[in-house]
A and B are shown apart, each in its own frame.
Chain A
Amino acid sequence: MKFPEDLRFSKGHEWVSVAGDVATIGITDFAQDELGDIVFVEAPEIGATLTQGEAFGVAESVKTVSDVYCPVAGEVVEINSGLVDKPELVNKSPYQDGWMIKVKISDLSALDELMSAKEYENYVLKSK
C-alpha cells in the first residue's frame, strides 16, 4: 500500500496534490483496494463550483457505489476524461493516471486540515 510523501490526504480517503492554486484530486490506494475493481467513474462538469466536503462524483466498483468528496473548495477546471473508457486506471494507478479532477482552490488554508502521508498511514492502520 502506497502513501506518497508529496500528497495530502482526507479522512474520506481522497488525496490532493497541489501545484500553485490548482489541486489534483483522486482516491487513495487504500480506497481503491477496499472498493475492488472500479467499473464506472462519474465526474462533475468543468466549471462546477464545489464546497469543501461536497460529493463531486462517484466511484463505482463491481459491487458498490461510493461517493467521492472534494477535500478543498474551488472550481473544477479539468476532469480526467481517460477514466470514461478506462475506469480501471483508478485501481492500477490511483495516484497518477487514475486522478479524477483538478480544482482551482478558493481557500488555500483548507489544505492545512488535510493529513500528511504519515498521518494518513496511521489513520488507515487504525481503521483496519
Chain B
Amino acid sequence: MTSSGKTPLYQDHIDAGARMVDFHGWLMPIFYSSILDESKSVRENVGMFDISHMGEVEVKGENAFALLQNLTSNDLGAIEQGQAQYTALLNENGGILDDLLVYKISEERFFLCLNSSNTESDVNWIADQALQYPDVEVRNLSRHYGMISIQGPNSEPLLKLLTRRDLSKIGYYHFVVTLVGGHSVLLARTGYTGEDGFEIFCEWRETGSLWKQARARGKSFGLKLIGLGARDILRLEMGYSLHGADISAETTPYEAGLGWIVKIDKPGGFIGCNALKKQREAGVKRALVGIEMIGRGIPRGGYPILSGGARVGEITSGAMSPTLGKAVGLGYAPPELAEAGTPLAVDIRGKMVEAVVKPKPFVSARVKKPALPG
C-alpha cells in the first residue's frame, strides 16, 4: 500500500482542527467539532464537505452511450443532457460492483462519479469492456477534479453569493457547467444527505480557492465544515446504501431494495441482466431492511439479526441517529421478515436487544423536487 492520498484541502482540514483518518487510502476529516453537531447543521442549516476522494471518470466517443447502457443497470436513455442518474455497475451475477452517478454532458460524453475505494477496479472494468466498442475513450480524471458538497436548507442562499447563475432553475439531479467563485465547475443539485444541496466538481488546483471562498461567504450563515462521520450518519438516516457495507459484489440491487435502478427490459440488455431476471422470477432470499432499536444499544455492522432467538441475518451499518434520537441500522433479513413493523432483535455483544423493522428512509427527504422548465 502506498502512502495515503491527500485531497487539495488537506491543509485546510488540519488548520480547521479536523480529526483525520485514513479512509481507503485517503486522509480525510472524520469530524471537525462533533459528529452530532455537524449532522444537525446539515439538517437545519448548511454544511460543507470535502469529497475530493471520490472518483471521476470521463467516457466519450460515438459508442460511449452504448457502452454505458451495457455496463449500468438503469436506463441511460431516460435522461437528457444536463441530467444525472443514479445507477449501478453489475457483474454477470447481478452483484453490485459499484453504485454511481452518471452525468450526461452531451450525446457522446458522460461523466461518472464513483466510490473512491472502487475507482481503480471500476476503471479497469470499464476499460476492459470498452475494448469491444470502437471509438470510446475512458479517462480516469480522479486526480484532476476536486469535489465539494454543500448541503442543507441554506445551501442555495449560500451558493447564490458565489455565482450569478440562477440556481432556482437547476432541478434535483440536474447540473450545469458554470462559474462558481470565478472558477469553471460542474455544479449539480445532488447529494448524499437527503437535504437540498449541491455537489461541485472543480479543477484540483482550484478546489482550495473555492473552499476558502465558500467558508468566507458562509460565515454569515453559520456554515459548518462536515466530516465523513456525519456524512455516514446523514446517509444512513436516509437509508442510502454505502458500497462496501450495505451493498457489494455479493449483493444484487433487488436484494438491496434498489430495484428502481434496474430497468430489466432495457433494449439490448446489460451485464447482469440475465442473472437478475432469474432472481426476480425466483424471488430474493434476503432483503435490506431498516431497523430501529427499541431496547438500549446501537446496531453495528456485523452484529447478528435475530428472530425467535435464531440468527436470520446481519446488520450492515448502524448508528445513533441525532435527528431521531434513536439507534437505527440497515441489515439483511429474510423477505418474510422485511415487512415494516416486524419485531426482530439484534445481538449486541452477546445481549439480545429488541428492535423493529422500519420503512426507509428513517428521516423524510427534503431534496428539491424536479424538474424546473426554462
Contacts and interface: CB of A to CB of B under 8 A. Distances in A.
A, B co-complexed: yes
B298 A37 contact: no
Nearest to A40: B298
Contacts of A60: 298, 320
Contact of A36 (B31, B232, B297): B31
A62 B297 contact: no
A20 B332 CA distance: 52
Contacts of B229: 36, 62-63
Nearest to A58: B349
Interface in A56-87: 58, 60-63, 65, 84
B35 A63 contact: yes
B35 A36 contact: yes
Interface residues of A, number: 12
Contact of A62 (B296, B320, B349): B320
Interface string B261-287: 000000000000000000000000000
A62 B317 CA distance: 12
Contacts of B210: none
A118 to B, nearest CB: 26
A89 interface: no
Contacts of B297: 40, 42
B296 A40 contact: yes
Contacts of A65: 298, 300, 349
Contacts of B19: 36
B298 A39 contact: yes
Interface centre among A39, A40, A62 (most CB of B within 10 A): A62
A62 B300 contact: no
Contact of A37 (B36, B232, B327, B349): B36
Contacts of B30: 36, 63
A40 B320 contact: yes
Nearest to A63: B229
Contacts of A62: 35-36, 229, 233, 319-320
Nearest to B300: A65
Nearest to B233: A62
A86 to B, nearest CB: 12
B300 A37 contact: no
B34 interface: yes
Interface of A: 36-37, 39-40, 42, 58, 60-63, 65, 84
22 contacts: A36-B19, A36-B31, A36-B35, A36-B229, A37-B34, A37-B35, A39-B320, A40-B296, A40-B297, A40-B327, A42-B349, A58-B349, A61-B35, A62-B35, A62-B36, A62-B229, A62-B233, A62-B319, A63-B30, A63-B232, A65-B298, A84-B296
Given A40-B298, A65-B300, A84-B296, 8 more contacts: A36-B19, A36-B31, A37-B34, A39-B298, A40-B296, A42-B349, A58-B349, A62-B319
The 7 closest A-B pairs by CB, nearest first: A39-B320, A62-B35, A37-B36, A63-B229, A37-B34, A37-B35, A40-B298
